[in-house]
Chains A and B, each alone.
Chain A
Amino acid sequence: MTQPVLSVRDLVVEIPTRHGILRPVDGVSYDIAAGEILGVVGESGAGKSMTGNAVIGLLDRPARIVSGQVLLKGEPIHHLKGAALRKLRGRRMGMIFQDPLTSLNPLLTVGDQLTETILEHLDLSVKQARERAIAALDEVGIPAARQRIDSYPHEFSGGMRQRVVIALALCAEPELIIADEPTTALDVSVQAQIIALLRRLCRERGVAVMLVTHDMGVIAEAADRVAVMYAGRLAELGPVRDVVTQARHPYTAGLMASTPVASQGQKRLRQIPGAMPRLDAVPAGCAFNPRCERAQSRCAQAPGPTLQTCDDRAACWFPITHEQEAAI
């Protein structure tokens, strides 16, 4: 088995606040292989973005990694700081943010922003860097890249801007891309193009992609595997087809049932009763237990279920089996 590009092991992120210590990420583990897209899905506040930020070392203070490991091609990187971390960012892992409007510096041309990134990481002349920047724009599908390279961000449309963002993330050829809600701010028609672009780049370059989104539709379309997060913990992790069609965790099942794309063919959407707990009030045991139809007394007792302690796919003491799922 080839070594995964990214391995996250028992990652715990904490934020000390005056209401006590919050754990937006609590014991998350997963791998992403080269050329693979891992979808990370969950409601807002489930800790999915925080996981991405933790991986690339962009946690805002006072949030910090308190335990666990992040391994990039087997090397631990979670403890890196300063220059060492900076050298990895952009060069070996890139990030794409939600809003292409605000991700680009409005006062610099896209060419400036591309070349500065390229020059930072690759030993090239300014001229070479510029050529490479044009190539990068070309690759992400910017028409007439050579002419448009000296344009300012505001001169591009939303979709084009996101392409520029992707070009920026990929221009130094990183092995890992963390895409944090890359399509959320875009029009639906553009969303599909960006997803297709990501998929293409992933396949062609063999980049590992961590695709963070709350949109099951995007996951179903783009991801190879999917990690479902709930209250900072991993609820379910598996190949996208299996998770979408045969969810084992009751939360995943509920999530699927409430999503239009994933629940195609069903008569009506279903809602999960209640809401995800606030981080300062995560229930003991399984975090989902107060809302779970299948909850039993064990579910409310610590320690809560994890992927390791239960099924290797769902962190649930009483996962849904295939037959049961069919009955729902």
Chain B
Amino acid sequence: MSDPQNPAETRPAPGRMARAWQSDLAYSFRHSPVAMISALVVAVLVLSAVFAPWIAPHNPFDPGSLNLMNGFTPPGAPNAFTGDTFLLGTDDQGRDVFSTILYGMRISLFVGFSAVLLAMVIGVVLGLLAGYLGGWVESVIMRTADIQLTFPAILVAMLIFGVAKGITPPEYRDQMAIYVLILAIGLSDWVQFARVVRGATLVEKNRDYVQAARLVGRRPFSIMIRHILPNALNAVLVIATISLALAIIAEATLSFLGVGAPPTKPSLGTLIRIGQGYMFSGEWWILLFPALTLLALALSINLLGDWLRDALNPRLR
């Protein structure tokens, strides 16, 4: 309803425009209890993962500190042999479930963030190139994307995992597993980013201001970065958020198929994979707590992504 051509009224300058946009987002955030609660949950979980070494009462990744006899201690009750008590009980290796969850979440989040970052970088770069350059570059990139889509993500991840395991020297495999997971999930997820960015690029490329920038001799690279990319950023941000949740779940799924984080340095997914074996046996805490943590984490991220999508798309408001 406001008038874009009014010089007398103080119109915000571009920089302030950005801030106004920000404050719009902030406004929408303040008025969405779901978004606020989700953000709070994500913040708490991420922080406790980051500061796990200081929060966790034990270091489950230090095998020397474990006492196998502490295994299967129920939450809050003392162990029959050692008399030790654990807040959320212990797992089959005598690891404190609470500490293991904190450390596991660290791995899950690290894998998730890195995989999404990788997918985003690959996807954005290829999408920009495809959209802007067109021609055979576009054909090759988009055909590759088709091939990639042809292979379902979990299969891609399984194959990459297999290959990486094969070519990694055995002594590094333990450490490599996590990076391989990142690579596998990241490589199976770039297509979405590429498609969105390519779409936005195709639209923006023909806009007058981009044409103008081209006419004044700006280099393609700078045009893409300065003019085209910002227009695709909202969509990329939304996809990235949703992808983060997906990546964390994907890691768990891969773990079920036996290609997840190693059991000595378990992620949330590995913990759930191990825990599901105790579904019927009465040691419910080994499954329940990691599963709840994963649910809280993924659900909050998903809800945030949902909110972000609606909030960044003014047409949906």
- Hey, which bits of chain A sit against chain B, CB under 8 A? 15, 18, 22, 24, 43-45, 274-279, 281
Contacts and interface: CB of A to CB of B under 8 A. Distances in A.
A186 B9 CA distance: 31
A276 B6 CA distance: 7
Nearest to A273: B8
B51 interface: no
B3 interface: yes
Given A274-B8, A277-B9, A18 B3 contact: no
A43 B1 contact: no
A22 B8 contact: no
A275 B2 contact: no
Contacts of B2: 45, 278-279
B9 to A, nearest CB: 6
From A15, A22, A45, A281, name the one whose CB has the most chain B CB atoms within 10 angstroms.
A45
A44 B2 CA distance: 8
Contact of A279 (B1, B7, B27): B1
Nearest to A43: B3
Contact of B3 (A15, A22, A24, A278): A278
A275 B3 contact: yes
A45 B9 contact: no
Nearest to A44: B3
A254 to B, nearest CB: 14
A15 B27 CA distance: 17
Contacts of A22: 1
Given A274-B8, A278-B9, A45 B3 contact: yes
Interface in B239-265: none
3 A-B pairs with the lowest CB-CB distances in the bound complex, closest first = A275-B6, A274-B8, A45-B3
Nearest to B6: A275
Nearest to A50: B1
Interface of B: 1-3, 5-9, 27
29 contacts: A15-B1, A18-B27, A22-B1, A24-B1, A43-B3, A44-B3, A45-B1, A45-B2, A45-B3, A274-B6, A274-B7, A274-B8, A275-B3, A275-B5, A275-B6, A275-B7, A275-B8, A275-B9, A276-B3, A276-B6, A277-B9, A278-B1, A278-B2, A278-B3, A278-B6, A278-B9, A279-B1, A279-B2, A281-B9
Contacts of A274: 6-8
Nearest to B31: A18
A276 B2 CA distance: 9
Contacts of B8: 274-275
Contacts of B5: 275
Nearest to A280: B2
B19 to A, nearest CB: 16
A327 to B, nearest CB: 27
A105 to B, nearest CB: 19
Given A278-B6, A278-B9, 9 more contacts: A24-B1, A44-B3, A45-B1, A274-B7, A274-B8, A275-B5, A276-B3, A278-B1, A279-B2
Contacts of A24: 1
A116 B308 CA distance: 39
A15 B317 CA distance: 14
Nearest to A232: B1
A15 B5 CA distance: 22
A18 B6 CA distance: 22
Nearest to B5: A275
Contacts of B3: 43-45, 275-276, 278
A276 B8 CA distance: 9
Nearest to B3: A45
Contacts of A279: 1-2
B114 to A, nearest CB: 38
A328 B254 CA distance: 81
Contacts of A43: 3
Nearest to A290: B8
Nearest to A46: B3
A308 to B, nearest CB: 26
